[in-house]
């Protein structure tokens, strides 16, 4: 599980990151809102822990931008703001939980476990993905476009699933490689390009807007726009 921690108070972020690492999580840290938002949008995280008040860009702005990009990554706010209006603003921005400073680290860890558990359950219970007129039946490993079944290899289905779980988001070459070949020796970049090319041939319709968009030098974006 990978967590992004965005907080400019080193007296909090340093011990918290150490504890999260001890608990077995991967942790990236940012000490300002601009860097935090860039990391949140460019990488795949299982949880975002955001301080509300940050230099350059607030945690609230990061949360709103993440949600505007259709990212469903759970968000936990850490803040000294504890009025009802503040809580409502945070939840309306798309936050999943809210922890008021000062807090016990063991309570934060419990909140982290709960959010990650909920996210895992929601992901596993969703057995169908749909983008435009393309549909993936995850349980039966079948793909349909306009109701017509498409025969894909196991690796092509894995790649398509990853794309459809992150619509309109730039997925870097490294992120896709890590997802598709987690426990295997990483293949050359040509293997991924060939896999994308094969998938395009099977799921896209000639003369219509493509679903897989190449972002040259970076990766791919999946969607109708």
Q: What is the pLDDT of residues 129-151, one digit of tens each?
A: 888 888 898 878 889 988 788 99
The share of the chain scoring above pLDDT 90, in percent, equals: 36
Residue 114 pLDDT greater than 70, yes or no = yes
- Spacing of C-alpha 182 from chain mean position: 17
Order of strands across the sheet that contains 170-172: 170-172, 219-222, 212-215
Give pLDDT, residue 225.
Answer: 66
Q: Per-residue confidence at 221, pLDDT binned at 50, 70, 90? A: very high
What's the residue count for the chain?
A: 225
Residue 120 pLDDT greater than 70, yes or no = no
What does the domain layout of the chain look like in residue ranges? 2-125, 128-222
Q: Classify 2-125 by CATH class.
A: alpha beta
Q: What is the pLDDT of residues 35-83, one digit of tens each?
A: 999 999 888 898 999 998 999 999 999 999 988 887 788 999 988 877 7
Residue 126 pLDDT greater than 60, yes or no = no
Residue 94 pLDDT greater than 80, yes or no = yes
Residue 198 pLDDT greater than 70, yes or no = yes
Give pLDDT, residue 116.
Answer: 83
Give pLDDT, residue 123.
Answer: 53
Give pLDDT, residue 31.
Answer: 94
Pick the closest to residue 23 from 44, 8, 1 (CA basis).
1
The share of the chain scoring above pLDDT 70, in percent, equals: 93
- The upper half-sphere exposure of residue 137, i.e. CA atoms within 13 Å in the direction of its Cβ, equals 12
Cα separation, 131 vs 187, in Å, equals 28
Give pLDDT, residue 91.
Answer: 81
The pTM assigned to this predicted structure is 0.56
Residue 167 pLDDT greater than 80, yes or no = yes
DSSP 8-state secondary structure symbol assigned to residue 8: S
Give pLDDT, residue 100.
Answer: 86
Domains 2-125 and 128-222 share a fold: no
The per-residue DSSP string of 99-149 comes to EESS--HHHHHHHHHHHHHHHHHHHHH--EEEETTEEEETTTTEEEETTEE
Q: What is the CA angle 48-51-55, rounded to 5? A: 115
Lowest mean pLDDT among 10-14, 27-31, 200-204: 10-14
- Classified by CATH at the fold level, domain 128-222 comes out as Arc Repressor Mutant, subunit A (1.10.10)
């Amino acid at each position: 599980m990978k967590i992004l921690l965005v907080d400019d108070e080193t007296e909090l972020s340093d011990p918290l990151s150490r504890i999260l690492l001890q608990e077995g999580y991967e942790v990236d840290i940012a000490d300002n809102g601009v860097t935090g938002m860039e990391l949140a949008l460019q990488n795949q995280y299982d949880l975002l822990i955001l301080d509300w008040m940050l230099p350059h860009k607030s945690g609230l702005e990061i949360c709103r931008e993440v949600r505007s990009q259709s990212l469903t990554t759970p968000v936990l706010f850490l803040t000294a703001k504890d009025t009802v209006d503040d809580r409502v603003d945070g939840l309306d921005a798309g936050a999943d939980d809210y922890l008021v400073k000062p807090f016990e680290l063991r309570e934060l860890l419990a909140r982290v476990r709960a959010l990650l558990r909920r996210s895992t359950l929601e992901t596993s219970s969703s057995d169908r993905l749909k983008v435009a007129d393309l549909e993936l039946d995850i349980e039966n490993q079948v793909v349909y476009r306009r109701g017509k079944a498409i025969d894909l290899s196991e690796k092509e289905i894995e790649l398509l699933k990853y794309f459809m779980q992150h619509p309109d988001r730039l997925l870097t070459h490294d992120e896709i490689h890590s997802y598709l070949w987690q426990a295997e020796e990483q293949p050359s970049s040509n293997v991924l390009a060939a896999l994308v090319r094969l998938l395009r041939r099977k799921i896209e319709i000639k003369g219509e807007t493509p679903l897989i968009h190449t972002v040259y030098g970076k990766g791919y974006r999946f969607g109708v726009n």
